[in-house]
A and B are shown apart, each in its own frame.
Chain A
Amino acid sequence: MLSRTAENLFWSARYIERADSLARLLEVGYRISLIPNTERGYTNEWESILETSGIKNEYLKKYKTISKEKIIFFLLFDPENSSSVKNCIKTARENIRMVRTAVTLEVWNAVNSSYHELDKNLKDTKNILKELPEIIEWTKKQVNLIRGTILNTQLINDGYDFLILGTYFERADFTARIVNVKYFILLPSINYVGGDIDNFQWSLMLRSISSFRAFKWAYGGQEITYTKIIDFLILNMTCPRSLIFSIEKINHHIGRLSKLYKQTSTSQKKIGLMYKNIKNLSASKITDIGLHEFLKSFIEEINFVYKKFEQKYFFGSER
């Protein structure tokens, strides 16, 4: 497969995953805005949503002040925000369009019609706050449709591996970031552990990765504690948004590529090591290392894997 084709497939899947993550973040924001809260606390939440999505600086450059409507517009539709939901879907489509022949007609149709519908949604939107739930629902539905089409219609060949890798590199990054932005609410030293505020904050975090109910099922409806959340978001193999889940997938699919091409690579060795290490971790060990420190080095390591992966398969040399 052409290196560029692989790169386009990878990034289209990555942008689709990003659109999904943004929609979930906005869902949390929307929930907060429905719950009575102090003005300050509420502003903080929107700010942390900006931080998690990694575009706070871009936003502040354009709008100066934190405003709910502006943030929603910025995250959903703003053409100047390269990571807005609209631009994510647009970029995903452009990437797929460039390699139209590497995906099935069904996948192309799913991506292409999402793009055209989104364009229409944007034009029809009159009150962005009121219509937010529908837009969020629509986005999640489209992403699921696209992903389902990929799973059901693509050949399970190297192109498929690059698509899946795009998804999980993005997801690992996103989950790590969302936990990192809020790591302080998972610190054991806070003395009102178990209080209402914690429960509220924790449930928001779970919701933002769509795992609120999943968590309850996974832990048999037990009381939420910070160790359980750490375990769930980082170490639980049954949670599709946990770090270990993404790492396992990346390890698996890079492994498949190495086998298919009969070539080893630095990224393969490194991700193998990461997977081995994370399997041997426990929530208490992470607390000992320090959650923030753990996440910081996790993000660095996964970025290193990506850099090596990109050099090997997209640029043609591992230097």
Chain B
Amino acid sequence: MYNEVYKNSKVRKFYNQIYDWAMSLPENVVVKKKNEAENLFKKIGITFSVYNNFDSTERLIPFDMFPRIISSTEWKKIKRGVIQRALAVNAFLNDIYNSGEIIKAKLIPEDLIYKNPAYEVKMIGFKVPKKIYSPIIGSDIVRINEKTFKVLEDNCRTPSGVSYMIENREIMMRMFPELFEKLKIETVENYPNYLLDTLKSLAPRKCNKEPKVVILTPGSLNSAYYEHSFLADLMGVELVQGNDLFVDESITFMKTTRGPEKVDIIYRRIDDKFIDPITFDSSSLIGIPGLFDSYKSGNVNICSAPGSGIADDKAIYSYIPEIIKFYLGEEPILENVKTWRCCEEDAKKYVLNNLNKLVVKEVHGSGGYGLLIGSKSSKKEIEIFRKKILSNPSNYIAQPILELSSVPIFDKKKLSPRHVDLRPFCLVGANKTKLVDGGLTRVALNQGSLVVNSSQGGGVKDTWILNE
């Protein structure tokens, strides 16, 4: 296992100052600061909801004060790699909803695209503004060793967590200003401006004035509601719910106290199937009847575009290296994780014979739900998955169990290593693709655990990119 702080029991160069600082904190100060951080989070209202069948309760996301540091050399590579993937994914989406060159070239099996439930037939042939389907991509990156960062998945629909990236920094700056004086840490506070620029660059065809941007949220019970309101606030745009919008003669309006006001760009944080009960799921109460018609008439843009989700399908993921080569003519800068597609006979055989050594994932699963970590599961659990795979092989992929790198957390009295991942947020606009120098580090707080999702015992850390 790669430890990001120690190398042969010596502290790595760029962690030196932070390590000394952490060791110098008396125990009572650590406890005090922990409480302070928690109170700040509570006061600001950063909570997330955890769903179960009965009710949803607000919880604080656990925050650990020991920062995760990435050197500028490492970061440069990650940044280039993430941008490369984001561009390739958008080119791919544009292709499969139009001429389908990559399928004609036989690089991806036809069925995997056209029979994929995430493929949206209603989008075929539609010219998406500026050919950008997925303007915000959050790639989940893990570190395996000194040299290697691998991408676990590219979240192309509505990746969340960016508010934690910004708020974690705010809280660290408030609690430990001295650290920011000592070290040169890249700022992340420009993210909302970048996001607004990106969205504004994607105005629909029939918009000929300063475009009006809104964020569409499912409502305050949604687990990421805090983030929706946070982004709206920092961008200075309205946070709307479905019933705030209506469509009249294919034009989308929002209801205001002055009367109806035209809307041009919707950064939606609700799923495809809920956006328009006329076109998609008719039982949706959070959608806007007629929105899809307004979209296709070129009166409004929906970001990300309906049907973008196919690009973060876990089976498609396994083709990303080919996708990068095909559209950009480049070698992938960041590696994929070796993936066995159970729809392929040989791969399925291998997977079934090695279940105890693999992670098995549902192709459309997310949030750490619906997966099997072979080495941590009982025989019974493994057998359940074996049956699942046999009955519907194309619904599963398998990957080796990765030894995620670790960074220490303040665990009661001492520092203690925990596994982490990294999610930077890449913004793809009409002319510019960029990301702030930072990202969200998620940390598995349970010792030995590899699951970093906040819904399953994960916490967050501030992530520092050093300006050397």
Known interface pairs A2-B238, A2-B254, A4-B241; A316-B220 also in contact (CB < 8 Å): no
Measured between beta carbons, the chain B residues less than 8 angstroms from A98 are: 219-220
- Are B257 and A261 in touch, CB under 8 angstroms? yes
User: B61 at interface (Cβ–Cβ under 8 A)?
Assistant: no
- Are A3 and B256 in touch, CB under 8 angstroms? yes
**Within A83-101, which residues are at the interface with B (CB < 8 Å)?**
94, 97-101
Measured between beta carbons, the chain B residues less than 8 angstroms from A118 are: none
Main SS at interface, chain A: helix
Known interface pairs A112-B43, A116-B42; A94-B257 also in contact (CB < 8 Å): no
Q: Which of B219, B226, B239, B241 has the most CB of A within 10 A?
A: B239
Measured between beta carbons, the chain A residues less than 8 angstroms from B42 are: 112, 116
**Within B219-267, which residues are at the interface with A (CB < 8 Å)?**
219-220, 225-226, 229-230, 232-233, 238-241, 243-244, 254-260
For the complex, what is the distance from the CA of A2 to the CA of B220, rounded to whole Å? 16
**Within A55-106, which residues are at the interface with B (CB < 8 Å)?**
94, 97-101, 105
Chain B nearest CB from A309 CB (Å) reads 11
User: B370 at interface (Cβ–Cβ under 8 A)?
Assistant: no
Give the residue of B45, B254, B260 whose beta carbon is less than 8 angstroms from that of A108: B45
A interface size (C-beta, 8 A) = 25
Measured between beta carbons, the chain A residues less than 8 angstroms from B260 are: 316
- Are B229 and A1 in touch, CB under 8 angstroms? no
Measured between beta carbons, the chain B residues less than 8 angstroms from A235 are: none
- Are B45 and A2 in touch, CB under 8 angstroms? no
- Are A2 and B240 in touch, CB under 8 angstroms? yes
Chain B nearest CB from A262 CB (Å) reads 9
For the complex, what is the distance from the CA of A94 to the CA of B219, rounded to whole Å? 11
- Are A101 and B257 in touch, CB under 8 angstroms? no
For the complex, what is the distance from the CA of A158 to the CA of B257, rounded to whole Å? 9
Measured between beta carbons, the chain A residues less than 8 angstroms from B233 are: 100-101
User: A257 at interface (Cβ–Cβ under 8 A)?
Assistant: yes
Which residue of chain A has the shortest Cβ distance to B237 in the bound complex?
A101
Q: How many A-B residue pairs have CB under 8 A?
A: 58
Instruction: Report, as a range, how many residues of chain B touch the other chain.
Output: 20 to 34
For the complex, what is the distance from the CA of A257 to the CA of B258, rounded to whole Å? 9
**Within A284-319, which residues are at the interface with B (CB < 8 Å)?**
313, 316
- Are A3 and B220 in touch, CB under 8 angstroms? no
Measured between beta carbons, the chain A residues less than 8 angstroms from B232 are: 101
Measured between beta carbons, the chain B residues less than 8 angstroms from A113 are: 43
Which residue of chain B has the shortest Cβ distance to A7 in the bound complex?
B257
Chain A nearest CB from B282 CB (Å) reads 23
Measured between beta carbons, the chain B residues less than 8 angstroms from A26 are: none
Q: Which of A1, A100, A158, A316 has the most CB of B within 10 A?
A: A100
For the complex, what is the distance from the CA of A2 to the CA of B258, rounded to whole Å? 9
Measured between beta carbons, the chain B residues less than 8 angstroms from A153 are: none
Known interface pairs A101-B232, A101-B233, A257-B257; A4-B244 also in contact (CB < 8 Å): yes
**Within A183-227, which residues are at the interface with B (CB < 8 Å)?**
none
Chain A nearest CB from B211 CB (Å) reads 18
**Within B74-95, which residues are at the interface with A (CB < 8 Å)?**
none
Chain A nearest CB from B191 CB (Å) reads 16
Known interface pairs A98-B220, A100-B229, A101-B232; A4-B243 also in contact (CB < 8 Å): yes
Measured between beta carbons, the chain A residues less than 8 angstroms from B43 are: 109, 112-113
Known interface pairs A3-B255, A113-B43, A116-B42; A97-B220 also in contact (CB < 8 Å): yes
Chain B nearest CB from A117 CB (Å) reads 11
Chain B nearest CB from A102 CB (Å) reads 9
User: A16 at interface (Cβ–Cβ under 8 A)?
Assistant: no
User: A23 at interface (Cβ–Cβ under 8 A)?
Assistant: no
**Within B40-64, which residues are at the interface with A (CB < 8 Å)?**
42-45
For the complex, what is the distance from the CA of A42 to the CA of B458, rounded to whole Å? 56
Chain B nearest CB from A246 CB (Å) reads 21
For the complex, what is the distance from the CA of A313 to the CA of B255, rounded to whole Å? 9
- Are B258 and A261 in touch, CB under 8 angstroms? yes
User: A179 at interface (Cβ–Cβ under 8 A)?
Assistant: no
User: A6 at interface (Cβ–Cβ under 8 A)?
Assistant: yes
For the complex, what is the distance from the CA of A2 to the CA of B256, rounded to whole Å? 4
Measured between beta carbons, the chain B residues less than 8 angstroms from A105 are: 44
- Are B255 and A4 in touch, CB under 8 angstroms? yes
Task: Kindly supply a per-residue 1/0 record for chain B positions 1-34, scoring 1 wherever the CB is within 8 Å of any chain A CB and 0 otherwise.
Answer: 0000000000000000000000000000000000
Which residue of chain B has the shortest Cβ distance to A108 in the bound complex?
B45
Task: Kindly supply a per-residue 1/0 record for chain A positions 1-42, scoring 1 wherever the CB is within 8 Å of any chain B CB and 0 otherwise.
Answer: 111111000000000000000000000000000000000000
Measured between beta carbons, the chain A residues less than 8 angstroms from B238 are: 2, 5
- Are A2 and B244 in touch, CB under 8 angstroms? yes
For the complex, what is the distance from the CA of A1 to the CA of B240, rounded to whole Å? 11
**Within B195-239, which residues are at the interface with A (CB < 8 Å)?**
219-220, 225-226, 229-230, 232-233, 238-239
Can you add 6 more A-B contacts, CB < 8 Å, to A4-B255, A98-B220?
Answer: A2-B244, A2-B255, A97-B225, A108-B45, A112-B43, A316-B260
Q: List 22 A-B contacts (CB under 8 A).
A: A2-B238, A2-B244, A2-B256, A3-B244, A4-B241, A4-B243, A4-B255, A6-B257, A97-B45, A97-B229, A100-B45, A101-B229, A101-B232, A101-B233, A108-B45, A112-B42, A112-B43, A112-B45, A116-B42, A263-B258, A313-B257, A316-B255
Residues of A within 8 A of B (CB): 1-6, 94, 97-101, 105, 108-109, 112-113, 116, 158, 162, 257, 261, 263, 313, 316
The list of the 6 closest CB pairs from A to B, nearest first, reads A101-B233, A100-B229, A3-B255, A98-B220, A313-B257, A6-B257
